[in-house]
Structures are given as structure tokens and as C-alpha cells.
């Protein structure tokens, strides 16, 4: 018996989703919901495709802390944008076929 609701995601999607989950300052379950994935799927992506975040030394002042936070947020937003662009193109292509 096959599962007809199974979705095959591209390698790029898995990698960017894993990196987004690692860099996000929220639980993986919440990130999975935002991406429309099951949490177990995102956990698998993180373990298989996620990069190991490098632990930086402690920032020295408030400006460095804020810059670090902004860089993480900017990276997360760029990844979300890329994922949404790919999803939009995919759905537009599917509607065109139908």
C-alpha cells in the first residue's frame, strides 16, 4: 500500500529548511508549521542536511549583540523568501498545466 499524500521535496528545499530551522530563534515545531511540514520531516532535514552552527565567542557590547540578531533575522528572512518564491513558481506551473 502506498501513501498518496507523500511529498518529495527537492534537496535545495531540504537544505534551506534545515538551515532556517537551525538559525531561527523559535522551536523547530513552529518553524515546521510555518513551512507547512510535519515536525518529524523538519527534524529529519536538520539531522541530514543542516549545517552545524558555529559557536561564536560572546559579543562584547550591545551593538554587536544587536548586529548578530539582525544578521540571523536577515538570513532567516532571505531563506523564507527563497522558499516562497520556489513554492509560488511551482504552484503557478501546476495551475498552468491544469
Q: Is residue 4 part of a domain?
A: no
Q: What is the pLDDT of residues 9-62, one digit of tens each?
A: 788 888 888 888 888 878 888 888 888 888 898 888 888 877 654 444 455 688
Q: Is residue 6 part of a domain?
A: no
Q: Is residue 1 part of a domain?
A: no
pLDDT of residue 80: 94
CA distance 1 to 4: 9
pLDDT of residue 21: 85
Domain count, the chain: 1
pLDDT of residue 2: 53
pLDDT of residue 48: 84
Q: What is the pLDDT of residues 70-88, one digit of tens each?
A: 999 999 999 999 999 999 9
Q: Is residue 84 part of a domain?
A: yes
pLDDT at 1 over 80: no
Q: Is residue 73 part of a domain?
A: yes
Q: Find the domain containing 63 and state its range.
A: 11-52+59-97
CA distance 5 to 96: 21
Q: What is the pTM of this model?
A: 0.47
CA distance 26 to 73: 11
pLDDT of residue 46: 85
Amino acid at each position: 500500500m502506498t501513501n498518496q499524500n507523500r511529498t518529495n521535496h527537492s534537496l535545495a528545499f531540504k537544505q534551506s529548511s534545515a538551515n532556517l530551522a537551525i538559525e531561527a530563534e523559535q522551536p523547530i515545531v513552529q518553524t515546521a508549521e510555518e513551512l507547512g511540514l510535519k515536525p518529524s520531516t523538519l527534524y529529519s532535514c536538520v539531522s541530514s542536511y543542516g549545517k552545524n552552527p558555529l559557536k561564536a565567542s560572546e559579543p562584547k557590547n550591545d551593538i554587536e549583540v544587536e548586529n548578530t540578531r539582525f544578521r540571523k533575522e536577515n538570513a532567516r528572512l532571505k531563506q523564507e523568501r527563497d522558499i516562497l518564491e520556489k513554492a509560488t513558481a511551482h504552484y503557478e506551473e501546476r495551475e498552468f498545466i491544469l
